[in-house]
Amino acid sequence: MCGIVGYVGDRDATEVLIKGLKRLEYRGYDSAGIALIDGKLIVQKGKGKVINLEKGSKKNNLSGKLGIGHTRWATHGEPNDVNSHPHLSETGKIAVVHNGIIENYNTLKKQLIERGRTFQSQTDTEIIAQLIEEIYTKSKGVTFEQAIRLALKQIVGTYGLAILNIETPDKIYIARKGSPLLLGVGENEMFIASDASPIVEYTNKVVYLDDGEMAIVTRSNYEVKTIDDSPLTKEVHELAISLDAIEKAGYPHFMLKEIFEQPRSIADCMRGRIDVENSSILLGGIEDVIDDLVNAKRIVIAACGTSWHSALVGEYLFEQLAKTPVEVEYASEFRYRDPLIGKGDVLLVISQSGETADTLAALREAQEKGALVLGICNVVGSTISRETDAGVFTHAGPEIGVASTKAFTAQVVVLIMMALELGQRKGLISSDEMKRYIAELSRIPAKVEHILEHSDDTIKKMASLFTYAPNFLYLGRSYSFPVALEGALKLKEISYIHAEGYPAAEMKHGPIALIDEMMPVVVIAATDHTNDKMVSNIEEVKARKGRLIAIINDENTEVKDLADFCVSIPNTIDCFSPLLTVIPLQLLSYYIAVNRGCNVDQPRNLAKSVTVE
């Protein structure tokens, strides 16, 4: 969950590194630092955001043409100056920045201390610098590059690493195992980063390092090898994202920009994949495995967080439209319980970042057991997208806000298209029904636009009434149940208000005890076939003086008369309703968080991509 950058070339390395770290801050932001080689090895680092590092670098007038940088999400050792990266070896000649977790660092640290080494920090990362130096200085005839390889062979865990050695002032050494690392190839300059956002303004040529690989980088060249010293020739990819896609474009926060981008991101997700004329769907990324999907005994979907919520929507979709049994699993639970999955099964992993450690581990576990593994990812070139057997990209564009919004709706669109294609291939959806589904799907972007245009002000006003509520309850049935969970997560993670999502009927089995005049209850009453039941749930809330916020279809007058506050949204087919009902909940959580003065794009304790377990 940390961000790593590196640069070598003719530019002011400090400026390139700081700018790059700002673009990676969504990955982790409790401390930051850089190391530069400018005749000597200089380190500037400390607790706090990159802006503090920038001020410190300016004050100390740092300069250099080669360097590495890091923005941290603490795993070992509290966020403070000494635990921030880069970490130095004892002699101060080697600097390391690291993303990942060294699981055997205690053992290695004890061994190094027994050999007389002293440590400054409580981090696992520091042992990497110390171990490399121990091997390099104590082993005869070992080059620095070999010392790195020998050290990495002793490490159990995950890493994305960038390393400097003052004795090789023109080189940056990078290595990857389990945490993403890219090399940006420029004209007589090279860029290193945890993802493409720090690189895209300089070059669109990138090389993705894979697990077990390292590279030695100079301004004019790079050599990629395995950790066992076998040279590799890697493909140079062209980045498909642009700089303005990662800028705020005039919005106060990335999250608001990404909420308002949804009409376009949903349209982009469908582009070239739905044919309204012929009422057909074509998902090229799974074309080769569609028969395996048709014949699958079941589909297991594994994911985390918001992606797990879209997975729950997928369960309803596949079972309703394609009559394929589905099980939804938390990736972290799936991977540790020796899952009963194998040949004939399909595991579908969903991940916006394509780097979530638990989801990646679930993928690898299922592959080892012989299942076909498909992916739904938003980041092209991400590890999960490269390790699945096939998959579908959501094409939602870079999602910078830590709270996922447009990625959720794009994931649901992909799941809808997959379920429709599967249902049609299984002969369960007639061409007339397909025509109706596809025609409605093509109208969704405009319906999302309508909600954004007509409800934004209402929701902003409503948010001011609930800004200091201590708790929230979100209730939904059927397709609205996962949306209730998603709405609660949005509120929790950016406003720090405790919120719970529940299947509406479940409220009677305990949570109803929570309801009083202090408890705002958001009910999502926009699915036709459960509306009557939702009305009785709403009556139960009202009878206990709960303050009711209802997300309803335009003509749902029954609920409108009962609710204290209403947000009306356009009608749609029940199985498409999550694409619309989630929008007001995203806006509600955003405005409440802003009213509370929270850092909406970088909420406390969180990071955008959880690449540690």
- Just list the catalytic residues: 2, 608
For residues 294 and 315, give the distance between their C-alpha atoms in angstroms, rounded to a whole number: 15
**R_g over Cα of the chain:** 25
Distance of alpha carbon 453 from its chain centroid, rounded?
A: 27
- Cβ(76)–Cβ(122) under 8 Å? yes
129 versus 407: smaller Cβ distance to ligand AGP: 407
Look at the block and give the residue holding tokens 């509290």: 78
124 phi, psi to nearest 5 deg: -80, -30
Among 322, 317, 316, 325, which Cα is nearest to 344's?
A: 325
Element spanning 163, H or E: strand 159-165
- Cβ(221)–Cβ(210) under 8 Å? no
Long-range contacts (CB closer than 8 Å, 24 or more residues apart) made by 443-447? 443/572, 444/266, 444/413, 444/572, 444/576, 444/579, 444/580, 445/262, 445/263, 445/264, 445/266, 445/267, 446/263, 447/569, 447/570, 447/572, 447/579, 447/580
- The total number of residues written for the chain in this structure: 613
- Beta-carbon count within 10 A of 533 CB: 14
507 versus 524: smaller Cβ distance to ligand AGP: 524
- Cβ(145)–Cβ(173) under 8 Å? yes
121 versus 265: smaller Cβ distance to ligand AGP: 265
Tell me the residue nearest to ligand AGP as measured from the CB. Answer: 305
89 versus 359: smaller Cβ distance to ligand AGP: 359
Q: How far is the CB of 351 from ligand AGP (least distance, A)?
A: 3
For residues 396 and 403, give the distance between their C-alpha atoms in angstroms, rounded to a whole number: 14
Q: How far is the CB of 304 from ligand AGP (least distance, A)?
A: 4
Residue type, 500: E
14 versus 353: smaller Cβ distance to ligand AGP: 353
The residue ranges that bind ligand AGP (CB under 6 A) are 304-307, 351-353, 356, 359, 402-404, 493, 609-610
Concatenating the DSSP letter of every residue in 487-512 gives HHHHHHHHH--EEEEEEGGGGGGTGG
359 versus 478: smaller Cβ distance to ligand AGP: 359
- Cβ(331)–Cβ(375) under 8 Å? no
Among 568, 530, 603, which Cα is nearest to 253's?
A: 603
For residues 408 and 426, give the distance between their C-alpha atoms in angstroms, rounded to a whole number: 27
Q: How far is the CB of 307 from ligand AGP (least distance, A)?
A: 4
3-state SS of 552-600? EECCCHHHHHHCCEEEEECCCCHHHCHHHHHHHHHHHHHHHHHHCCCCC
Q: How far is the CB of 212 from ligand AGP (least distance, A)?
A: 22
89 versus 332: smaller Cβ distance to ligand AGP: 332
Q: How far is the CB of 399 from ligand AGP (least distance, A)?
A: 8
158 versus 404: smaller Cβ distance to ligand AGP: 404
Dmax (CA) of the chain:
83
Q: How far is the CB of 123 from ligand AGP (least distance, A)?
A: 23
355 versus 456: smaller Cβ distance to ligand AGP: 355
29 versus 136: smaller Cβ distance to ligand AGP: 29
For residues 447 and 267, give the distance between their C-alpha atoms in angstroms, rounded to a whole number: 12
Among 526, 574, 487, which Cα is nearest to 309's?
A: 487
Among 265, 203, 214, which Cα is nearest to 238's?
A: 203
Concatenating the DSSP letter of every residue in 270-299 gives HTTTEETTTTEE--GGGGGGHHHHHT-S-E
Instruction: Extract the runs of DSSP E, i.e. beta strands, from 16-155.
Output: 31-37, 41-47, 66-72, 87-88, 94-99
Q: How far is the CB of 359 from ligand AGP (least distance, A)?
A: 5
Q: How far is the CB of 163 from ligand AGP (least distance, A)?
A: 27
Q: How far is the CB of 21 from ligand AGP (least distance, A)?
A: 20
Q: How far is the CB of 28 from ligand AGP (least distance, A)?
A: 12
Mapped onto helix, strand or coil, the DSSP state of residue 264 is: helix
Q: How far is the CB of 368 from ligand AGP (least distance, A)?
A: 20
Q: How far is the CB of 383 from ligand AGP (least distance, A)?
A: 11
Q: 376-399 burial, b for 16+ CB within 10 Å, e for fewer?
A: bbbbbbbbbbebbbbbbbbbbbbb
299 versus 349: smaller Cβ distance to ligand AGP: 349
For residues 125 and 131, give the distance between their C-alpha atoms in angstroms, rounded to a whole number: 10
75 versus 306: smaller Cβ distance to ligand AGP: 306
